[in-house]
Amino acid sequence: PTILSVRDDTLAVLERLGVPASASAFAEGGGETGLPARSPIDGGVVTGLRQTTADEAEATLARAHQAFLAWRRVPGPRRGELVRLLAEELRAHKDDLGRLVTLEAGKILSEGLGEVQEMIDICDFAVGLSRQLHGLTIATERPDHRMMEVWHPLGLCGVITAFNFPVAVWSWNAALALVCGDSVIWKPSEKTPLTALAVHALATKAVKRFGADAPDGLLGLLIGGRELGERLVEDERVALVSATGSTAMGRQVAPKLAARFARAILELGGNNAAIVAPSADLDLALRAIAFAAMGTAGQRCTTLRRLFVHDSVYDALVPRLKAAYGSVRIGDPRDPATLIGPLIDGTAADGMARALDEARAIGGTVHGGERLRDIRGEAAAYVRPALVEMPEQAGPMRRETFAPILYVTRYTELEEAIAQQNAVAAGLSSSIFTRDLSEAETFLSASGSDCGIANVNIGPSGAEIGGAFGGEKETGGGREAGSDSWKAYMRRATNTINYGKTLPLAQGVTFEV
Ligand code: NAD
């Protein structure tokens, strides 16, 4: 039961979030070329935005660089106070921001709210961290000396984000960067500028409440296309670029950052797998697989895309999965009964159709996968998730298609299943469903899954912020969020102090003048 039109709904939420109708005011000034803000719910244009011009981008960079020079001198726990205020704003506006994520990215309501909760969680984590940015004191080989390492703020951080986590990824980076003493410029996806404007409005409120210690330009926002991302990548003042998106994007960004020795956190594509072993709890596995493969309409970097099912349980599991694929509720993500919302746009649906054609051509049996044009018309891209039984891992199963396709094959030996799971270019997330301790530990061992995330009896999607998040190989190797990911946002200095009256040299070297 949806009452408001998508456009009216979005404009009302934006107003409650403090983004005025002339939203371009938040985009660090205006620009010549327009950027249409669309909703995938009906594929329509909600409003037009002005893009940030090259001059405005330069001004934003200059201000953020200056802001860093001041912010790095503010004590860490005081910087944490700003993030605490940001979390307060997010708590107060959770419902509206979550709904805006639903309206602009097409996530179902609980996932939109979940994304905002993730922002709150990382802020809480960062506030605690602001008192724990500690180094080590290390035993020195020289008498009357002390050796220690300290962590200093790094510089201006550029954050480039993808459409599918339009708000959480900024906060994973920004909350840590802020307590680490860095300034931040955000280049959100051109497909989700409104959520970025709303977050920027809330962050600006937090900065105002914080007071004069927060320098002007501490948090910048660039609204527009990839050329603004390139600007961050190429500018010498940007010490670290954290870029989330496709591996194709990472391939362009990484060499440019390497060429100027800038730091990179790359969070790129995934082609995540799960193994269902003979001893698996099939009821639990079924629910985990359904959420991981179909949830968010298959548009998570951690979405389950490949399933290796042991021959002995294949016929007990796969028909039940097929039934779940056939009956899952697809529709307007604002309807609480909906489990699968739309794809971001028609291009994504075309990509899905192409992958399914390729799979059919090499012997895959496709269940579902059709475009559902009757839900909200031609401009929206609703699809039924596809389950594809494959004779072997081949063709489109070997790459990421950013849509709800789950390829399934049989296996007989665990070693072979692990080898197959690792035999793709991406290395983000992975799971095994088993009650056999030896199988679980083998999967988690050095010769097991080669991914940044490896789970037992949990699907590959849906990480908590307490752990470090990221993946290996073509996923880019970056780590964000919890554990010691904060170290990427700081620079380490090793200090040795001689408090004696002699000058002993390391390694026993003598040098008398
Ligand atoms: P995308 O690569 O099309 O765009 C991502 C961002 O990069 C956008 O802001 C875009 O403007 C910018 N960009 C593109 N080319 C650039 C360039 N040459 N220089 C600088 N910036 C550039 O990705 P998308 O379609 O928005 O998102 C989907 C992809 O993101 C999927 O592959 C998904 O797996 C991946 N993703 C990864 C993670 C992760 O943490 N590993 C998280 C979310 C999404």
| Ligand 1 residue neighbourhood (C-beta within 6 Å) | 160-165, 187, 189-190, 225-226, 229-230, 233, 244-246, 249, 252-253, 267-270, 301, 400, 402, 428, 475
**Are 247 and 268 spatial neighbours (Cβ–Cβ below 8 Å)?**
yes
Per-residue pLDDT reduced to its tens digit, 129-155: 999 999 999 999 999 999 999 999 999
**Are 166 and 197 spatial neighbours (Cβ–Cβ below 8 Å)?**
no
Point out the ligand 1 atom lying closest to the alpha carbon of residue 225: 11
Ligand 1 atom 8: residue of nearest CA:
189
pTM of the predicted model over 0.90:
yes
In this prediction, residues 254-282 reach a mean pLDDT of 98
Q: Considering 104, 267, 389, 480, which one is annotated as catalytic?
A: 267
Local confidence band at 290 (pLDDT 50, 70, 90 cut-offs): very high
Q: Residue 435 Cα, ligand 1 centroid: separation in angstroms?
A: 37
DSSP state of 423: S
CA distance 98 to 111: 8
Residue 493 has pLDDT above 50, yes or no: yes
CA distance 513 to 511: 7
Q: In 3-state terms, what secondary structure has residue 263?
A: strand
pLDDT, residue 50, reads: 86
Q: Is 267 a catalytic residue?
A: yes
Residue 424 has pLDDT above 70, yes or no: yes
**Are 428 and 451 spatial neighbours (Cβ–Cβ below 8 Å)?**
yes
Tokens of 254: 């990484």
Q: In 3-state terms, what secondary structure has residue 81?
A: helix
Chain length of the chain: 513
pLDDT, residue 33, reads: 62
Q: How much is the ipTM here?
A: 0.98
Residue 477 has pLDDT above 80, yes or no: yes
Per-residue pLDDT reduced to its tens digit, 340-399: 999 999 999 999 999 999 999 999 999 999 999 999 999 999 999 999 999 999 999 999
